[in-house]
Structure 1
Amino acid sequence: MSKNKGKTAEELLQEALVPEEEQPYSIPENWVWVKLGFLITVKSGEALTKKQMIDGPYPVYGGNGVNGFHKENNISETSIIVGRVGFNCGSVHLSENYAWVTDNAFIVNFDKNKLNINYLYWLLKNLNLGQYSNSTAQPVISGKTIYPIKFPLPPLNEQERIAIKVEELLNKINQAKQLIKEAQETFELRRAAILDKAFRGELTKNWREQHGIGIDSWVKSTLQEHISYLGDGIHGTPKYSDTGDFYFINGNNFDGFSIVLKPDTKRVNEEEYKKHKKNLSNQTVFVSINGTLGKTALYNDEPVILGKSACYFNVLDTLDKHFTRYYLETQEFKDYANLMATGSTIKNLSLKAMRTLPLQIPSLSEQQEIVRILDNLFAKEQNAKEMCDVINNIELMTNQVLAIAFKGNLGTNNPAEDGIVVKLE
C-alpha cells in the first residue's frame, strides 16, 4: 500500500494505474489496469488454536479454508478470506455471513462502491496468490507481496455481470466433472464385475458347451506349478547414469499392460545393466509387490533392470500370460494380496505368497477364449473411458473461463459504461 498522506488525487491515481508498457494484455477501453493494493487491504484474523475452539455454529477459517467450528464469530458478513500461512497460503475462500477467521488467514477489505465481492473473489483465485509466498519451510504471503499485483478493473456493473457469467459457466463445468466421475466409477465397477465372471467361468459357459466340457475341467493349482522362474529386482540402488541407455524401474512403472518409461525414470549404463539384468522373456509377467500392490505389465523387450517392488515370473506353456495378467486385476487377487501382505504403512507381498497363489486353471484353449472375450469387451469399455479421460481435461476449462473473463471476452461488457477511474476522478 502506498502512503497516501499529503498526496493529491492525481498523484494517487497515477500510483494506482499500471503504465501502458507494463500492462500484461489488452482489455476493453472502459476497463483499467490497476495495482491490487489500490483497491484492497488485508488484515490477519485472530489467534484461535484447535484446543481453544469450543464447538458451535460458526465455521473457523484458517490457512486452507474451514478447519473447525467455534461458538463465537469475529466477522459478521460474507467476506473474502485468503490463506496467509502454510502450504496452501494464497488459497481464496468466500466465507459465510458469520464466521471466525484465525491469524493464519487474511480478511480482505475493499470499497463495495468500486468492487463487486464475487468478481473480486474470482479475480483473486485467478491470480494464484500462492506464487507470491516466500520460499521458506513455512510459506507466507503478506500485503507487501500482493499489493503490487496488476489486475484488470472493469466498471462495477460489468464486474457483477462477469461474476454471474463465470459462476454459471463453472457450475456447468462442475456438473460435467461430476457426471464424468460417476461414469469412471461405473467403468471400474463394471470392469471388476466382468473379470469376476470371467474367472468363475461364466463368460465361457457357451464355449464349454460347444466343446463338450464342463466347469469341472478347471483345475485347482498354484502359480508355482505353471512358471519356470519367479523373482524380484535388486534391493539396493544401482549406479545411475544420466546418459545411460537402460532404465531402472519399479512397480510404479507398470500401467496394466506394459512398462511406462517416464521422463524421471532413472537410467543406468550397459555395465550396470549387465550386472543386474534378469532372465526376462516374451513370457514374462510383472506385478508390483511393494507399496501399491497388484500393478501389472507384460515384458516387451524394454531395456530395463528391476527394483525390489517389481516381481516378475515367466509362465510355462500351460498358462497364457494375458490370462494371468487379467487374473492379477481381479478383486480375488487383490483380496489375497492384502491378506498375505506384511507391513501397515508400506505393504509388502512376499515371493513365497506369489508362488503359492491359488489358481483355478482352465485348459489353455479356454484361457485364450477368455482373453479374447475380455479383450473385446474391454476395447469397447476403453473407448468410452478414453472419451471420459479426454473430457476429464475439463479441469483446464476452469482456468480458461477465468482467463477469458478477465480479458473482457465473455461478451458481457457495455462500452458505454464509465470505468472506475472516471468515478475516482
Structure 2
Amino acid sequence: MAKNKKGMTPEERLAAALVPEKEWPYALPDGWKWVRTGALNDYKLSSITPSTNPDDAFELYSVPSIVNGYPEITKGMEIGSTKQLVEKDDVLLCKINPRINRVWKVSAHTTLKCLASSEWLVVRARPFFVSDYLMWFFRCPYFRKRMLSNVSGVGGSFMRAKSRYVQTYPVALPPLSEQHRLVARIESLFAKLDAAKAKVQAVLDAHEKRKAALLHEVIAGNLIGVGERELKPLSEIVDLIRIGPFGSALHKEDYIQDGIPVVNPQHIVNQVICPDSRKSISESKADSLAMYKMCANDIIIGRRGEMGRTAPVGEDEAGWLCGTGCMLLRLKKEYDVKFYSLVIASQKSKQYLKTHAVGSTMKNLNEKIIRNLPVPVYSYAEQQEIVAILDRLLGREEEVRQSAESVLVAIDSMKQSILARAFRGELGA
C-alpha cells in the first residue's frame, strides 16, 4: 500500500481522523463513520501574487449576494476581496453570514483556471469522499447549525464563520457506493421539487399581473360598465395632504418597544399597514407630533423608494403616526378611501409617480406631485359598487397567493427534511 510523505496510508490517515464515539452528533448506520472536516480536506491555501492577472484565463467566484442564488461567476474581472486558487469539484462554503447556508461546487464544465474570493472556505475532497456528497452534506440542517455555533461579528454581513472551528466539525462518512447513491437520490427528489416550485412560482408571478389588470379595469370603469371617466387632479377630491415629520423631529433615542407605531413605507404591504413594534414611540412623543397622527378614513402613501405603496387607515390604526417616509391624504367625505387607495396603487398611477418623482439617490414624492396625480372621479355609489366587486376578486387572488406561498415554504421544508434523513442513513430507495 502506497504511503504519503508522512508515512501514512490513506486508510491510516482516515483512521486517525475518526471522531470518538462520545463526540458523535448522532448515531449512524453500520459502516458509516464520523470524520472531521479538516481531515477530509486536501486543499492547501494557494498564494495569489499581485502579478496574478485574472484575465480571460480565469473564472472568478465572488461571494453571492442573493439568499438562495449561485455565486457570481465572471471572467476577466477582479474580485474585491483577496483571492485563492481553486479547482473543478472543490466545494465552497461561504463564511459570511452562515445562517444563509451558501454552499457551492466549482463548476464541472469549466476549462479555465479558477479564482475564488477568500470569503469562501474551500474543501477539496480526499479519495474517500465524493464532492457532490460533501456539497449536499454541508447544506443539511445539522451542518448549518454547526456553522452558526462559532461565529465572529454580529448580524448579517458582519457575521462570519471561523475557519479553525469549521475544520473540527464532524462529517458523516458512509461507504463510497452509498455516497453515490445518496447523491443520485437527493438530486432526483430535488429535481421533482424544483419543477413543482417553478410551477408555483409562475402562479405567484402571474398574481401581480392579474392584480394590475384588475386595477386597470377600475380606472377604465369596466368593472361596472360605465366606461372610462375623465381624469382630474387628486387635489380636487382631498381636504388634506401632509408629509410626515422631518427626520430631525424623530431621533433614534425616541423609539421604544410596543409604543405608538410609526408607519413608514416598509410597513405598507398589499394595502395593509403592518407595524413594527420596534419602530414605535411613547404617547407623550406622539402627542408632541399630533398633527402627524393618522385618522380613520385617511390614506397613507409611501413617498420614498417603491412607488404606489398605499393603504386605507382604519379605526385600529387611528392615532398611529405617519412616519418621515410617508404622507397622509384626507379625502372629501364623498370619496371612498379604499377605492382611491387602490387607484393610487394602480399601474397607471405608479407610472405617473415614477416619472415625476424627484431625487437622485432615492426617488421622493412631494406634495405638488401628489396634488397633480390624475385620478378618475366616480359617484359615491359607483365607488362602493366597484370596491365590492374588487373585494371579491382580490380576495380570491389573495387566497391563491397565500396558498402558493405556503406550498413554497412546504417545498423548502421538504428539502431540508430530505437532507436530514439522507445523512442519518434514513433515505431509502
Q: Please classify the TM superposition score into its range, dividing by the shorter chain length.
A: 0.7 to 0.9
Secondary structure at 2:207 match in 1:
helix
Matching of residue 123 in structure 1 with residue 124 in structure 2? no
Q: In the superposition, relative to structure 1, how do residues 279 and 68 fare at CA in structure 2: closer, same or farther (>3 Å)?
A: closer
Secondary structure at 2:299 match in 1:
strand
Is the contact between residue 248 and residue 268 of structure 1 (CA under 8 Å) also seen in structure 2?
yes
Secondary structure at 2:220 match in 1:
coil
Secondary structure at 1:290 match in 2:
coil
Is the contact between residue 61 and residue 99 of structure 1 (CA under 8 Å) also seen in structure 2?
no
Residue in structure 2 matched with residue 69 of structure 1 by the alignment: 75
Q: How far has the Cα of 1:51 moved from its partner?
A: 9.1
CA distance in 1 between partners of 2:49 and 2:73 (Å): 11
TM-score w.r.t. the length of structure 2 is 0.81
CA distance in 1 between partners of 2:184 and 2:334 (Å): 65
Q: How far has the Cα of 1:166 moved from its partner?
A: 0.7
Is the contact between residue 349 and residue 374 of structure 2 (CA under 8 Å) also seen in structure 1?
no
- 1:98-156 per-residue CA deviation (whole Å, 9 max, x = no partner) reads 232226356533333x2222212212333348646654988777764332111111111
Is the contact between residue 60 and residue 68 of structure 1 (CA under 8 Å) also seen in structure 2?
yes
Is the contact between residue 221 and residue 360 of structure 1 (CA under 8 Å) also seen in structure 2?
yes
Give the stretch that moved more between structures: 25-34 or 316-325.
25-34
Matching of residue 256 in structure 1 with residue 266 in structure 2? no
What is the number of residues matched between the two proteins? Answer: 396
CA distance in 1 between partners of 2:201 and 2:246 (Å): 38
Residue in structure 2 matched with residue 159 of structure 1 by the alignment: 179
Secondary structure at 2:327 match in 1:
strand
Residue in structure 2 matched with residue 194 of structure 1 by the alignment: 214
Secondary structure at 1:18 match in 2:
coil
Q: How far has the Cα of 1:403 moved from its partner?
A: 1.6
Q: How far has the Cα of 1:406 moved from its partner?
A: 1.0
Higher RCO structure, 1 or 2 (CA under 8 Å, sep 6+): 1
Is the contact between residue 45 and residue 107 of structure 1 (CA under 8 Å) also seen in structure 2?
no
User: Which AA in structure 1 matches 2:358?
Assistant: T
Residue in structure 1 matched with residue 26 of structure 2 by the alignment: 25
Please list, as runs of the form range in 1=range in 2, the aligned pairs for 1:6-405 lying within 5 A after superposition: 15-45=16-46, 47=48, 52-55=53-56, 59-64=59-64, 65=71, 67-69=73-75, 78-82=88-92, 91-97=103-109, 98-102=111-115, 104=117, 108-112=123-127, 114-126=128-140, 127-128=143-144, 131=148, 134-135=152-153, 144-205=164-225, 208=226, 215=227, 218-236=229-247, 237-238=250-251, 239-242=253-256, 245-263=259-277, 265-277=278-290, 278=292, 280-300=294-314, 301-302=316-317, 303-393=319-409, 394-405=411-422
Q: How far has the Cα of 1:90 moved from its partner?
A: 6.6
TM-score w.r.t. the length of structure 1 is 0.82
- 1:351-405 per-residue CA deviation (whole Å, 9 max, x = no partner) reads 1211222222121111111111111111111111111110121233332221221
CA distance in 2 between partners of 1:69 and 1:406 (Å): 36
CA distance in 1 between partners of 2:52 and 2:301 (Å): 46
Q: How far has the Cα of 1:293 moved from its partner?
A: 2.2
User: Which AA in structure 1 matches 2:60?
Assistant: V
Secondary structure at 2:29 match in 1:
coil
User: Which AA in structure 2 matches 1:109?
Assistant: R
Matching of residue 406 in structure 1 with residue 399 in structure 2? no
Secondary structure at 1:221 match in 2:
strand
Q: In the superposition, relative to structure 1, how do residues 330 and 10 fare at CA in structure 2: closer, same or farther (>3 Å)?
A: closer
CA distance in 2 between partners of 1:50 and 1:83 (Å): 27
Residue in structure 2 matched with residue 416 of structure 1 by the alignment: none
- 1:22-70 per-residue CA deviation (whole Å, 9 max, x = no partner) reads 22222212212221222222223563889933336x6333455453236
**Cα RMSD between the aligned structures?**
3.4
Q: In the superposition, relative to structure 1, how do residues 204 and 175 fare at CA in structure 2: closer, same or farther (>3 Å)?
A: same
CA distance in 2 between partners of 1:256 and 1:143 (Å): 43
CA distance in 2 between partners of 1:53 and 1:11 (Å): 39
CA distance in 2 between partners of 1:387 and 1:193 (Å): 21
User: Which AA in structure 2 matches 1:23?
Assistant: W
User: Which AA in structure 2 matches 1:402?
Assistant: L
- Runs of at least 5 residues in structure 1 that lack an aligned partner in the other structure: 209-214, 413-425
Q: In the superposition, relative to structure 1, how do residues 258 and 172 fare at CA in structure 2: closer, same or farther (>3 Å)?
A: same
Residue in structure 2 matched with residue 422 of structure 1 by the alignment: none
Is the contact between residue 61 and residue 100 of structure 1 (CA under 8 Å) also seen in structure 2?
no
Bigger Rg, structure 1 or 2: 1
CA distance in 1 between partners of 2:105 and 2:6 (Å): 32
CA distance in 2 between partners of 1:151 and 1:169 (Å): 22
